[in-house]
Amino acid sequence: MSMIPPLSKRSSTTKLPWQVLDLVSNHLDPKTLATACCVSKTWFTCISSDHIWQPICTTHFPSLSCNLKLINPALPYYRLYAMASTAAKRRSRTPSKPSLALHDLILTVNVFSHNKAVFSLEKPGDELVMDNGVFKFDIDVDNYEVEAAASESVSVTWNVVLKGWRGVFNMMESRKGKRGVDDWWFSEELPLPGCCSSLVDSGVVAELRLVFTEESKTGGNNLDRVGRINKVSVGMFSTAKLRYVGVDDGFRYLQHFLC
């Protein structure tokens, strides 16, 4: 009676028929198939076949598979699946924390009335208080006096400066605002950052609001109306999402232009 050879000897001399590999491959998930491709050249040749990966690609990424195959018909389906799967994971990945922080910044605001400077504000970032996790800050100021009779005569500039005066980004330049009952509103569209951020697909504007109290002031024989500014509010607003951007997205945006 012949003896059955040891398992180690059988495994080194016996090859799994490619028909069996092909049959089994049709019942494996993509991750297992990718692992099996690494066993040997024979396994790779069999398991990377288009007839195995085409239905997987068209099921998971139908549009991408069709479009890329039109551009490059020679591109194998296992490569298409790997590219599409990697792209999908990157899109769903949470963006990394920005290296820029609030204490790295200085906010500067200038207010002009009839082309004459009314006041200049310089506020270090570490003195600012975040508004519910969004890039919006309210700054109390000493009652600076501004003529309130003509809102079109009031304009502002707003800059974000990198601490140590190592860089500057112009958020708003000589912008004239809209007069409300007790405030002036200013806004300016910002350029897209061109980096991987949730801001890329949406319009973003810089917003600045001057809050004032109006009172009478006697000058000579005339009685004038004046406004005393007591608060400055600044923020970045997404016009597509209709809300202020998150503070991390705000830092990512500024980081693109300042660092």
Question: Per-domain residue ranges for the chain?
Answer: 7-92, 102-258
Q: What is the pLDDT of residues 47-93, one digit of tens each?
A: 888 888 888 888 888 887 778 888 888 888 888 888 888 888 877 76
| Amino acid 87: pLDDT | 82
pLDDT range class, residue 109, cuts 50, 70, 90: very high
User: What is the pTM assigned to this prediction?
Assistant: 0.64
> At the top level of CATH, which class does the domain 7-92 belong to?
mainly alpha
Number of other residues whose CB lies within 10 A of the CB of residue 82? 15
Mean pLDDT of 106-115: 88
Task: Evaluate whether 180 touches 194 at the Cβ level (below 8 Å).
Answer: no
Radius of gyration of the chain (CA): 32
Q: What is the pLDDT of residues 168-227, one digit of tens each?
A: 999 998 777 787 778 889 999 998 876 545 555 568 999 999 888 766 655 544 445 566
Higher model confidence: residue 193 or residue 109?
109
